[in-house]
Amino acid sequence: MKKVHYQLVNVFATEALFSGNPLAVFSDASAISPTEMAALGQQMNLSEITFVTKSDEADAHVRIFTPSYEMPFAGHPTLGTAFVIANGRAQLTLKMQAGLIPVRCAGEQITLTANPPSYRAGPEVAELAAALGISASQIIGTPRFVNCGTEQLIVPLADAAAVASCNIDITQFTRVAQNQAGLSGALVWARQTQMDGSETIVARYFWDQYGQAAEDFGTGSACANLGGWLLAENTPTPFALTMEQGHGIQRIARLQLHVDAEQDIHVSGRVVQIGSGEFTL
């Protein structure tokens, strides 16, 4: 028998303690087998958990597990893992299946630099609208698959009301939102003007978990892919946006997207530690 320890953090947290996207980080996973990693992902039932081991190429090797599969890259696990293992370092490089991911640490504010985007055409608008449970007229731009580490469908909607009204038909969604790895996930988003005149992105991220529609608290990989989508639309750089996610599940996450003049995509968020624990395997 062996004891394995984890830290529990919230990533993309707001001022509220129970906000953002929760993550468990096993900062010393040298004694945990891949089978045990997958079992712990299912046991904890968080959107993702991470396992850290040594790397000859980077500051750490990180594997990311959902309750049902391993992911090559995800945003909130990258930021949360860097926060846990930084030990005062301002910069880290994490080795993941998607490659080497640079991360900057400034206290609770953690920033990753995503891979350059690649693209694939999205589904027909009518089919996509039916899968999302909205009218085709509420999709106002070009849906496309974007891959800055994990391929996802990015869907621009008319307004916040359209985002809120999405009601997934999981059978159709699984078909139209399936990426090249056979997994289904989509970010629906819209621009919203605040009282002070500033602009925020309001978003929801849906994915298929065990044949059921699941909604994520705060999806950093999709935020990076949104940056890629905006680049494909020839958005002038540099630009910065705040994305808020989680209204549909009563838990807000706040994500910062910055695309610099060189078109590098950066995703930032506040990370706070809220607990720790151990398993006996």
Catalytic residues: 48
**Cα-based distances in Å from 5 to 39, 49, 124, 224, 276:** 15, 12, 46, 30, 8
How are beta strands 109-113 and 99-106 bridged, if at all? antiparallel
CA distance 237 to 169: 36
Please list the residues that pair with 94 across neighbouring strands: 60, 101
- Residues with Cβ within 8 Å of residue 271, at least 6 apart in sequence: 9, 10, 11, 13, 20, 79, 80, 83, 108, 109, 110
DSSP E strand boundaries for 14-133: 21-26, 49-53, 60-65, 70-71, 91-96, 99-106, 109-113, 118-121
CA distance 257 to 102: 15
Of all helices (H) and strands (E), which one includes residue 274? strand 265-280
How are beta strands 91-96 and 60-65 bridged, if at all? parallel
CA distance 140 to 276: 44
CA distance 180 to 167: 24
